[in-house]
Amino acid sequence: MSRILKYRELLLLVINLVLIAAFSTRAPGFASPKSLANIFNDTSILIILALGQMAVLLTRSIDLSVAANLSFTGMAVAMLNSAHPEVPLPLLIAAALGIGAGLGAINGFMVWKIGIPAIVATLGTLTIYRGMAFVLSGGAWVNQTQMTQAFLNTPRMPVLGLPLLGWTAILVIAIIAIVFTRTIFGRSLYAAGGNPTAALYAGVDVGRTKFFAFMLSGALSGLCGYLWVSRYAVAYVDIAAGFELDTVAACVIGGISTLGGIGSVGGAVLGALFLGVIKNALPVIEISPFWQMAISGLVIIIAVLLNARQDRRKGRLILRDAAKSRSVRVATPVEGAAA
Partner 1 sequence: MSVAQAIAQNSTPLLEMRGISKSFPGVKALDSVDIALYPGTVTALIGENGAGKSTLVKILTGIYQPDGGEIIVEGEPVHFASAEAAIRNGITAIHQETVLFDELSVAENIFLGHAPRNRLGLINWGGMNARAAALLTSIDAPVSPYMRLKDLSIAQRHLVAIARALSVEARVVIMDEPTAALSYKEVEDLFRIIERLKRQGKAILFISHKFDEVYQIAERFAVFRDGRSIGAGLLAQTSQDEIVRMMVGRSVDHVFPKFDVAIGNTVLKVSGYSHPTEFNDISFELRRGEILGLYGLVGAGRSEFCQSLFGITHPSAGSLELEGRLIEIRSPADAVAAGIVYVPEERSRHGVVLQMPIFQNFTMATLGRTTRAGFLREAEEFALARRYAERLDLRAAALSVPVGTLSGGNQQKVVIGKWLAARPKVIILDEPTKGIDIGSKAAVHAFMSELAGEGLSVLMVSSELPEVLGMSDRVLVMREGRMAGIWKREELDAETLVRAATGNP
Within 10 Å of residue 306's Cβ, how many Cβ atoms?
A: 15
- CA–CA dist 211, 113 (Å, integer): 9
| Nearest approach, Cβ of residue 47 and partner 1 (Å) | 23
Check residue 318 for interaction with partner 1 (CB under 8 A).
yes
Shorter beta-carbon distance to partner 1: residue 289 or 324? 324
Cβ neighbours of residue 232 closer than 8 Å, sequence gap 6 or more: 239
Instruction: Calculate the alpha carbon distances from 193 to 155, 198, 213, 246 in Å.
Output: 35, 10, 11, 22
Among 90, 115, 203, 289, binds partner 1 (CB under 8 A): 203
Told to check if 207 binds partner 1 by CB under 8 A, we report no
Give the number of other Cβ atoms within 10 Å of residue 152's Cβ: 15
Of 85-93, 148-156, 187-195, 246-254, the segment contacting partner 1 by CB under 8 A is 187-195
| 187 lines the binding site for partner 1 (CB under 8 A) | yes
Would you say 138 or 326 has its CB closer to partner 1? 326
Indicate the burial class of 16 (C-beta count within 10 angstroms; 0-12, 13-18, 19 or more).
middle
Compute φ and ψ for 325, nearest 5 degrees: -85, 25
Asked if 184 touches partner 1 (CB under 8 A), the answer is yes
Binding partner 1 (rule: CB under 8 A), the pick from 114, 159, 160, 317 is 317
Q: Does 330 bind partner 1 (CB under 8 A)?
A: yes
Half-sphere exposure of 294 (CA within 13 A, CB side): 6
261: which DSSP letter? Answer: S
Contact call for residues 161 and 33 (beta carbons, < 8 A):
yes
Q: Which is nearer to partner 1, 143 or 327 (CB)?
A: 327
313 binds partner 1 (CB under 8 A): no
User: How deeply is 202 buried, as exposed, middle or buried, from its count of CB atoms within 10 A (0-12, 13-18, 19+)?
Assistant: exposed
Piece of the chain touching partner 1 by CB under 8 A; list 15-23, 40-48, 129-137, 198-206? 198-206
- Pick the closer one to partner 1 by CB: 198 or 294: 198
Alpha-carbon distance of 331 to 322, in angstroms, equals: 9
Contacting partner 1 (CB under 8 A), which of 29, 160, 201, 289? 201
248-307: which residues touch partner 1 (CB under 8 A)? 261-262
Q: Which helix (H) or strand (E) holds 162?
A: strand 162-163
State yes or no: residue 159 binds partner 1 (CB under 8 A). no
Q: Which is nearer to partner 1, 6 or 84 (CB)?
A: 6
Question: Is 204 a binder of partner 1 (CB under 8 A)?
Answer: yes
CA dist 100 → 59, 191, 283, 298, 312 (Å): 19, 25, 33, 32, 38
Choice between 209 and 280, CB closer to partner 1: 209
Q: Which range in 151-159, 201-209, 242-250, 277-285 contacts partner 1 by CB under 8 A? A: 201-209
- 200 part of the interface to partner 1, by CB under 8 A: yes
With H, G, I as helix, E, B as strand and everything else as coil, classify residue 163: strand
Least distance to partner 1, CB of residue 231, Å: 33
| Number of residues lying near partner 1 (CB under 8 A) | 43
Torsion on CA atoms 284, 285, 290, 291, rounded to nearest 10? -140
Q: Which residues bind partner 1 (CB under 8 A)?
A: 1-3, 178, 181-184, 186-187, 190-191, 194-195, 197-205, 261-262, 314, 317-318, 321-322, 324-327, 329-330, 333-339
